[in-house]
């Protein structure tokens, strides 16, 4: 009896593990998300930089460079106006679609809490 329970427990554990793996796989493994614009930082040149020039995972290069925010925005509409052209230039896509995505995503991000 104990054996069956143990096997079932380990099978459950594995199923959860697989699902988490798939989630990570579909969302991009270990890829940090910019806490200002929400884009996934996948490539080396996507990373923002600290004051000393070192790469950070917290923000992307469009939003944060050399220890400061690139766009001095006080709220989300302000950020959309100032940053959308730069975001589109770096990440691609259209201005309209990017703005729509940002409007949905930004309220969830730490910078805008």
Chain residues in the site for Zn ion (CB under 5 A): 34, 36-37, 60, 63
Residue 36 or residue 98: which is nearer to Zn ion going by CB? Answer: 36
CB of 91: closest distance to Zn ion in angstroms?
9
Consecutive H or E run containing 63: none
Cα(83)–Cα(87) distance, integer angstroms? 6
Task: Enter the DSSP assignment of 25.
Answer: H
For residues 54-93, one letter each, b for 16 or more C-beta atoms within 10 angstroms of the residue's C-beta and e for the rest, the string is eebebbbbbbbbeeebbbebeebeebbeebbeebbeeeee
Closest approach of Cβ 18 to Zn ion, in Å?
A: 32
CB of 81 to Zn ion, least distance (A): 15
Question: CA nearest 90: which of 71, 110, 68?
Answer: 71
Closer residue to Zn ion (CB): 60 or 73: 60
Residue with smaller CB distance to Zn ion, 63 or 73 = 63
Which residue, 3 or 53, is less far from Zn ion as judged by CB? 53
CB of 27 vs Zn ion, minimal distance in Å: 17
């Amino acid at each position: 009896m104990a054996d069956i329970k143990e096997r079932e427990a380990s099978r459950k554990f594995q199923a959860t593990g697989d699902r988490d793996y798939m989630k990570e796989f579909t969302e991009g493994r270990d890829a940090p998300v910019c806490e200002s614009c929400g884009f996934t930082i996948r490539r080396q040149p996507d990373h923002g930089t600290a004051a000393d020039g070192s790469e950070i995972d917290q923000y992307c290069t469009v939003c944060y460079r050399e220890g400061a925010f690139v766009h001095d925005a006080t709220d989300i509409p302000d950020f959309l106006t100032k940053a959308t052209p730069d975001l589109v230039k770096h990440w691609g896509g259209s201005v309209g679609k990017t703005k729509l995505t940002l409007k949905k995503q930004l309220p969830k991000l730490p910078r805008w809490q």
